[in-house]
Amino acid sequence: MKTRLGLLGASALGLLSALTGAQIQRLDLPEMIDDCDHAVFATIVACKTEEIVHPVDGLEVMTTLTLAGESLYDGSNVTVDVSFLGGFAPGQFNSEAPVQDDCRIGSHIVAFYTWTDRLLPDVGANALHAAHGGVYRTVDGPTGTVVLGRGDGFAVKNNVKVSDLRKAIATVRQAQQRKDG
C-alpha cells in the first residue's frame, strides 16, 4: 500500500511539474558561455534589494549586486550591477534566488550574467544567468583562489582555480568563435 501511495505521489508531482512548466536547466561551461554576455571574478561591493509594485503583476522583489573585479573574458577591470529576482526583504522568498551567503558584501564570487530588457516588466538589467546557478563562491587556498564547484548540471561542476577557469573560458570562447566563423 505504501508503495502505491509513493508511486501515486511521485506521478502527481511529475504531472504538476509538467503542467506548471517548471524546469531546471542544466548548463555545462560551454553552454553557459554560449548563453551569457559576460563572466566576472569579483568582490560584492554593494547589495540592494528593492520592492517594485507593478500595476499588472503586483509586488516584485529584485536584488542588485554591485560587483568590482576582473572580466573572465578579457582580464579587464570591471564594475557592474547584476540583478536577480527575489532577495532578502522580510517575508520574501524566491527559490530561484541565490542563498544569502552567496550575496554578502565583501564576498568574492564568480558570476555569469546576461543583459535582459525585461527582468521585470519595464525593468532592464544585467541578469544573473540561470538564477542561483550563475553565482559561485570562491575561497583562497595555498595555491590560489578556488571557485567552489556545484556538481553535475552546473557550469562549474568541480572545484577549480580561478586561473584555470579563466583558461577554460578562453578555450570555450575560442572554439565558439571558430565555429561561428
CATH number at residue 79: 2.40.50
Residue 4, Cα to own-chain centre: how many angstroms? Answer: 38
Please give the pLDDT value at position 95.
61
Please give the pLDDT value at position 179.
86
Number of domains in the chain: 1
Classify residue 8: in a domain, yes or no.
no
Residues in the chain, pLDDT under 50: 2, 5-23
Classify residue 84: in a domain, yes or no.
yes
Classify residue 83: in a domain, yes or no.
yes
Classify residue 136: in a domain, yes or no.
yes
Classify residue 15: in a domain, yes or no.
no
The predicted model scores a pTM of: 0.81
Domain with 72, as residue range(s), is: 25-180
Classify residue 78: in a domain, yes or no.
yes
